[in-house]
Amino acid sequence: MGDDTSGTFRLDGKISVVTGASRGIGQVLAVALAKAGAYVAAVARNDDGLQETTTEIRSHGGRAIAVRCDLRSSDSVDAMVVRVLEEFGQIDVLVNNAGGGDMKPLLKMSEKEWLAIIELNVNGIFRTCKAVGPHMISRRQGRIINMSSMYGLIGEKYVTAYCASKGAIIQFTKALALEWAEFGITVNALAPGYIYTKRTSSVFDDPEYGPGLISRIPIGRFGQPEELGPLVIYLASDASALMTGSVIVIDGGQTAA
């Protein structure tokens, strides 16, 4: 019944850069890519977390390096790209996972706090894409995967800056996909809903807030970081060659209403 296409989901020999790879979703994605055969450059500011990520990858027989990088600095991002190219010689996949945000009413948010969220979530992706882009364009191939959120598609009170930044990522993804399509580079985004991590567990496990959050999810549970891994592998692989400028939502049905 047709050819076996399972091999198209393999990433053997592909070089993947994953930002925010020292913990949570980024750490899980880095390990997932390595298990699919990719060599991984784990990027973040936390040295201990990066070592934990690379140690786990190596324990599964994978190859990985830890690269400390501050995405708020163009010089730091440029140096990170140079380091990866020195080690591996190429970059095939860029996963822009790093990001964050705080809950705060807009009128109580300082301009500094607003700009800090935009700086990390939006400007960080701008810097990594600008730094990696010339290399991918020269090779006429590449996969870029940007981490947005369901809150890039819907609004929520008290997270205005986060919603604005994640919506910007979606538009950035669509525009860059069109700009770089002629060079064989695909640019796509993931928009997760509530994902249970160490960072989010304090809220999700809170007896006052947790049940209310679960009640919003039609499927009735929080997502797990591991559930994002197969999507990233797909977007990084040859199987997704026709997909660019797309946003994949994985939110248990929250944005379907």
Residue 155 amino acid letter: G
Residue 10 amino acid letter: R
Active site residues: 162
Please return the burial class of 149, using the count of CB atoms within 10 Å of its CB with bins 0-12, 13-18 and 19+. Answer: buried
Q: How many CA atoms lie within 13 A of 159 on its CB side?
A: 17
* CA–CA separation, 196 and 226 (whole Å): 10
Per-residue pLDDT of the chain (257 residues), as tens digits, is 444 445 678 999 999 999 999 999 999 999 999 999 999 999 999 889 999 999 999 999 999 999 999 999 999 999 999 999 999 999 999 999 999 998 999 999 999 999 999 999 999 999 999 999 999 999 999 999 999 999 999 999 999 999 999 999 999 999 999 999 999 999 999 999 999 998 888 889 889 888 999 999 999 999 999 999 999 999 999 999 999 999 999 999 999 98
Topology classification of domain 12-192+228-249: Rossmann fold (3.40.50)
Q: Report the alpha-carbon angle 253-209-114, nearest 5.
A: 80
> Could you write out the DSSP letters of every residue in 45-97?
S-HHHHHHHHHHHHHTT--EEEEE--TT-HHHHHHHHHHHHHHHS---EEEE-
3-state secondary structure of 163: helix
Element (H, E) at 29: helix 24-35
* CA–CA separation, 124 and 73 (whole Å): 8
Q: What separation in angstroms does the CA of 85 have from each of 32, 52, 74, 90, 94? A: 21, 22, 17, 5, 13
* CA–CA separation, 145 and 215 (whole Å): 30
Predicted structure pTM score: 0.94
DSSP structural state of residue 182 = G
Q: Domain coordinates of the chain in residue numbers?
A: 12-192+228-249
pLDDT in tens, 108-164: 999 999 999 999 999 999 999 999 999 999 999 999 999 999 999 999 999 999 999
